[in-house]
C-alpha cells in the first residue's frame, strides 16, 4: 500500500511541475499473490487481514494509476532495498536497473 501511496504522491508532484504522467506507473513484484490480488478479486481466508489495502491497490490498478508487473525473483531490482545483504553481482545489477549506468569514481582520479 505504501508503494502505491508514494507513487500517487510522486505523480501529483510531477503533474504540478508540468511533467504529468498519462500512462500507468509500472510496479514490479516477484510475489505471485500480490500480482494476482492487485488486478483480480482474490478473496480467501488467508487474505482477510489486508482486504482494505488490497482494494486500495486494485482500485488504482483499475483506474490506470499503477500497473503491477510480475517479474522473476532474479529480475526484482527491489531486492536492493528489501534484503539485508545481497551478493555484489546482484547489488550492481539492481543498482544498474534502478539508477542506470554509473561512472566509476576511481577512474580518472589523481592521487
CB 65 within 8 A of CB 25: yes
pTM here is 0.67
Kind and range of the H or E element at 69?
strand 66-70
Tens digit of pLDDT for each residue in 28-57? Answer: 888 787 777 777 766 656 666 667 778 888
The confidence score (pLDDT) of residue 37 equals: 75
Among 80, 83, 104, which Cα is nearest to 91's? 80
Q: Is 72 helix (H, G, I), strand (E, B) or coil?
A: coil
Among 65, 53, 50, which Cα is nearest to 15's? 65
The confidence score (pLDDT) of residue 11 equals: 95
The confidence score (pLDDT) of residue 7 equals: 93
The confidence score (pLDDT) of residue 109 equals: 56
Q: Block means of pLDDT (10 residues each) for the chain, length 111 residues? A: 90 95 89 76 63 83 90 84 85 87 68 57
> In sequence order, which ranges of 69-110 are alpha helices (DSSP H)?
79-82, 88-99
The confidence score (pLDDT) of residue 13 equals: 96
Amino acid at each position: 500500500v505504501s508503494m502505491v501511496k508514494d507513487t500517487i504522491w510522486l505523480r501529483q508532484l510531477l503533474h504540478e511541475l508540468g511533467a504529468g504522467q498519462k500512462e500507468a506507473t509500472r510496479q514490479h513484484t516477484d510475489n505471485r499473490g500480490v500480482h494476482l490480488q492487485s488486478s483480480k478479486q482474490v478473496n480467501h481466508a488467508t487474505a482477510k487481514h489486508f482486504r482494505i489495502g488490497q482494494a486500495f491497490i486494485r482500485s488504482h490498478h483499475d483506474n490506470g494509476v499503477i500497473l503491477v508487473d510480475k517479474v522473476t525473483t532474479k529480475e526484482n531490482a527491489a531486492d536492493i532495498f528489501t534484503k539485508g545483504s545481497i551478493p555484489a553481482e546482484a547489488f550492481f545489477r539492481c543498482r544498474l536497473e534502478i539508477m542506470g549506468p554509473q561512472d566509476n569514481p576511481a577512474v580518472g582520479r589523481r592521487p
